[in-house]
Chains A and B, each alone.
Chain A
Amino acid sequence: SQQGEEDPQALSIQEGENATMNCSYKTSINNLQWYRQNSGRGLVHLILIRSNEREKHSGRLRVTLDTSKKSSSLLITASRAADTASYFCATSANQAGTALIFGKGTTLSVSS
């Protein structure tokens, strides 16, 4: 079963605009990660934010985490056509014997 739930399911924007995707989760986490998947290919790890962090940056990516609301957001600034992909949040639970649980993803389309 999915732990994370991304919103929106699909997002279409123009090149140069910012894209914001949200993720909500249900249980206590150790960290939350974001991944990108180009159509039919493997997932690529983008960024990891730990449960005691509130914001993290990596290039044009900005991730926030609100553990009280059990939610995270991924902001991609100045989007490019090459950012067109599906984006997934994944949560790492605090307990041993568990693996990353992925949401269903947000499909981002950036047109030029």
Chain B
Amino acid sequence: DSGVTQTPKHLITATGQRVTLRCSPRSGDLSVYWYQQSLDQGLQFLIQYYNGEERAKGNILERFSAQQFPDLHSELNLSSLELGDSALYFCASSGDRRGGYTFGSGTRLTVV
């Protein structure tokens, strides 16, 4: 157990639907990062939050959004889902932007 908790572990949904992925960071970590991993694109950085505020943005589609709540857990919302959104979605946390990240075990999203 890395200390970063992601739920759910697996999600199967239809095209056009909306889903919410949840992440609880390791205790004490203020930063949360979201990554998407697919076979063709590799590990792509989506977005970072630090203590409730958006801090960095990567290749996140407009159909996707995220937020970090006062208790520091974060949610990634994916809407108008397409087949190409099928991927592993990872959350990571860190206490220091320049330090190592602790990753959760991921949510495997399958869009059918």
Do chains A and B interact in one complex? yes
Binding site for B on A (CB under 8 A): 1-2, 30-31, 33, 35, 40-45, 48, 88, 92, 96-105
Ordered by A's residue number, 25 sampled pairs between the chains whose C-beta atoms are within 8 Å are A1-B59, A31-B98, A33-B100, A40-B88, A40-B106, A40-B108, A42-B103, A42-B105, A43-B92, A43-B103, A45-B100, A45-B101, A45-B102, A45-B103, A88-B43, A96-B97, A97-B56, A99-B45, A99-B58, A99-B97, A102-B35, A102-B42, A102-B43, A102-B45, A104-B42
Is B105 in contact with A41, judged by CB distance below 8 angstroms? Answer: yes
> Which residues of B are found within 8 Å of A96, using beta-carbon distances?
97
Query: Within the complex, which residue of B55, B59, B101 is in contact with A100, where a contact is CB–CB below 8 Å?
Result: B101
A50's closest neighbor in chain B, by CB?
B98
Question: Bound complex: CA of A3 vs CA of B6, how far in Å?
Answer: 26
Size range of the chain B interface in the assembly: 20 to 34
Most buried by A among B42, B90, B102, B104: B42
> Which residues of A are found within 8 Å of B88, using beta-carbon distances?
40
> Which residues of A are found within 8 Å of B106, using beta-carbon distances?
40-42
Query: Within the complex, which residue of B2, B55, B97, B100 is in contact with A42, where a contact is CB–CB below 8 Å?
Result: B2
Is B105 in contact with A99, judged by CB distance below 8 angstroms? Answer: no
Contact with A along B49-64 (1 / 0, CB 8 A): 0000001101100000
Q: Shortest Cβ distance from B35 into chain A, in angstroms? A: 8
Q: Shortest Cβ distance from A98 into chain B, in angstroms? A: 6
> Which residues of A are found within 8 Å of B99, using beta-carbon distances?
48
Is B90 in contact with A43, judged by CB distance below 8 angstroms? Answer: yes
